[in-house]
Amino acid sequence: MEIKIGVRHIGRELNVETEESAEEIEGSLRDALCTEGGIVVINATKGRRILLPAAQIAYLELATKHPRTVGFGFSGGSD
């Protein structure tokens, strides 16, 4: 799954690939926001771990991974 993370006072968003589900990421953020100084931990692909202070996260965009199609699509039949 691809995650886009907006961080307060930062112009660029972070893009992270993870095997975690949207529910796991959302739960981690909810838990971190309920505790003072909470940290969101995202286990990214290739063995990376991303640790973010929950209070500094402006938004999370969770998107399932869709395979990219190759070609020009369906032509609509023969003439």
The alpha carbon dihedral of 63, 65, 69, 75 has a sign of negative
70 — pLDDT class (breaks 50, 70, 90)? low
Provide the residue ranges of all domains of the chain, joining segments of one domain with +. Answer: 2-63
In 3-state terms, what secondary structure has residue 24?
A: helix
pLDDT at 10 over 80: yes
Measured CA to CA, the distance from residue 61 to residue 51 in angstroms comes to 16
Q: Give tens-digit pLDDT for 30-61.
A: 999 999 999 999 999 989 999 999 999 999 99
Q: Give tens-digit pLDDT for 13-38.
A: 999 999 999 999 999 999 999 999 99
Average pLDDT, the chain: 86
pLDDT at 77 over 90: no
Predicted confidence at residue 69, as pLDDT, reads 59
